[in-house]
Structure 1
Amino acid sequence: MKAYLALLLLVITVASSQVQASAWFTWPTVGESTLKWGWWKIYTAELKTPTGKYLASDSNLALIIRYLRDIDKNDLLSATDKQWQHLGIPSQQRQQWLRVLAQQWPSVKQGDRLVFVKTATEGRFYQHGKPLGKPLSVPLSNAFIGIWLSTATEYPKLRLQLIGQ
């Protein structure tokens, strides 16, 4: 009986994280920001959570990135690597994660939108409402979202706008 209850609890937990991940578009917006480089606008970013508020301990969130320029996949990967270097992630770990992302990410065109949804058990990219690749591990998901939400981010003003401050 205990084993049955434990299995039932596991199924409910997994199902609930999947429902939460698929419902990100109904979540309220916490904040929005635009990344600019010189006079060029690169993308707009929007952060959503189930409550519309951001807490560093939140495991459920969605980051929506709307690209304002065409960007080649290799340039996206290079920019991600640069941000992870800034956050102090070791080279070997960065390279491993970049290989995973290289299998999932497309090159983006102006107007494209990529969505990253993070739950307690995984992270996942979506484009046009469809998942890109396999779910990502929690450490990789945390490292990716840390580019925007870490207190050590290279863009602290963007972070503050995203988290609604």
Structure 2
Amino acid sequence: MFQRRYASLNLALAVGISLLVLSKNVLAQSVPDYVTKQVPEAKVVGNAMFTYLFWDVYDATLYAPKGEWQSNAPFALKLDYQRGLDGKKIAQRSVDEMRKQGISDEAKLSEWEEKMVALFPDVEDGDVITGVATTNRASEFYINGELVGKIEDENFTQAFFDIWLSEKTSEPKLRKALLQN
């Protein structure tokens, strides 16, 4: 009897480990085509759920060449929304986070907010917004895999992605999970 239980436990453990390995392989291989066009040899760097209070807001995934993020190389940040949000509020929150990073040029922040409001739609549970920092330091935005616009401003690109990736981020645990450090 003991041997049968032990064998069942070993089988369950083996199946569990196999599923874990399979899920990691699927995650590693599931880089969207629109990301690989801008980020050569894109692989997942890290992934984490952003939660506000008690609500899951989005699942964030960072992609970089060979899975090694560098701020001066192309990369992509994909946000899989878990709840509906107003696009204008997404833009406003982005500007608020940029201020927290130390950007104080209100005219520039206002200009960037207008551009983001024009690009970011209202999102529903299941929608995906992906921002790509391109080789020439522009920002491309994809909604559910479709390119919706580009902001060709190195300073915007830096400020926007710093919301998640800067050491000054308001969400250091999220940053750590995305960068795997």
- TM-score category (smaller protein): 0.7 to 0.9
Q: Hey, what does 1:27 align to over in structure 2?
A: 42
Q: 1:77 to 1:41 in 2, by over 3 A?
A: same
- Given that 1:43 and 1:65 are in contact with CA atoms closer than 8 Å, whether structure 2 keeps it comes out as yes
Alignment of 1:44-55 (within 5 A): 44-55=59-70
What is the TM-score of this pair, normalised by structure 1?
A: 0.81
Alignment of 1:2-151 (within 5 A): 22-24=37-39, 27-56=42-71, 58-90=72-104, 91-121=106-136, 122-151=138-167
Amino acid at match of 2:153: S
SS in 2 for 1:158: helix
Q: Which runs of 5+ in 1 are unaligned?
A: 1-18
Give the ranges of 4+ consecutive aligned residues of structure 1 lying more than 3 Å apart after TM superposition. 23-26
Q: In the TM superposition, what is the alpha-carbon distance from 1:120 to its structure 2 partner?
A: 2.8
Max Rg structure = 2
- Given that 1:120 and 1:138 are in contact with CA atoms closer than 8 Å, whether structure 2 keeps it comes out as no
Q: 1:77 to 1:150 in 2, by over 3 A?
A: same
**Aligned residues, how many?**
146
Higher relative contact order (CA 8 A, sep 6+): 1
Q: Which runs of 5+ in 2 are unaligned?
A: 1-33
Identity %: 27
Q: In the TM superposition, what is the alpha-carbon distance from 1:60 to its structure 2 partner?
A: 0.6
In structure 2, C-alpha distance between the alignment counterparts of 1:34 and 1:25, rounded to whole Å:
25
Bigger CA drift: 108-117 or 127-136?
A: 127-136
Amino acid at match of 1:145: F
